[in-house]
Amino acid sequence: MNINLKILKPEDVTQKYVDWFSDPDVVKFSEKKTKKFTLQGQIDYVNSCLKDSNKVLYGVFDEKLHIGNLYLEGLKSVHKRVEFTAVIGDKSYWNKGVSTFALSKLIELATFKYKIHKIFSGVVEGNIGSCRFLEKNNFILEGRRIDHIFLDGKFYNQLDYALIINQNL
């Protein structure tokens, strides 16, 4: 494997990418499961990310194969903190350390390119894989929001994880 990150461009959007969001395993703990995704809709989404200086969408690639995304929002925050989300949509890359490696690269970008102090993410309680993923990258559990997420007709707690990445700001 040769995993790398690059800012996602419209030409990177494929039907295979769109299909990730209709795979029940990929969206099990995501509100994306309730949305309909189309090729044109994802192209428009990628274009909107490129135009918005407050966010950035990175594709995770193995050589030229697009296997996932990492997204940062809040780049212009006066508080120097960003929220991030991640998806490895190509399930053949699950449980191989790809997401952990990709997040370590994103943390480097957040630290040195974007000069961010803190990176955070919310996880549905019960999403053990995402919790392990964050903990492997030294994120700490900061709190629990009770009945914060409504999925599949049921309320779930949200676990809030964060990492202080740049002490010198």
Per residue in 108-162, pLDDT tens? 999 999 999 999 999 999 999 899 989 989 999 999 999 999 988 999 999 999 9
CATH classification at residue 87 = 3.40.630.30
Rounded to 5 degrees, what angle do the CA atoms 89, 156, 101 make? 35
In a domain, 133, yes or no: no
Cα 160 from Cα 27, distance rounded (Å): 19
Cβ-contact 26, 17 below 8 angstroms: no
Decide if 111 is inside a domain: yes
- Element (H or E) spanning 120, and its range? strand 118-124
**160 belongs to a structural domain:** no
What six digits make up the tokens of 140? 């700490």
Residue 102 lies in a domain: yes
pTM of the model: 0.90
Beta bridge partners of 124: 158
Handedness of CA 142, 25, 12, 62 (dihedral sign): positive
In a domain, residue 162? The reply is no
- Mean pLDDT (whole number) for 45-64: 96
Which pair of tokens denotes residue 26?
């990929």
Q: What pLDDT was estimated at residue 41?
A: 93
Can you tell me the mean pLDDT for 75-83? Answer: 95
Q: How far apart are CA 58 and CA 43, in angstroms?
A: 14
What is the pairing mode between strands 81-88 and 154-164? Answer: unpaired
Sheet of strand 154-164: strand arrangement: 3-7, 55-62, 65-73, 81-88, 118-124, 154-164, 140-151
Residue 116: give the domain boundaries. 3-122
Domain count along the chain: 1
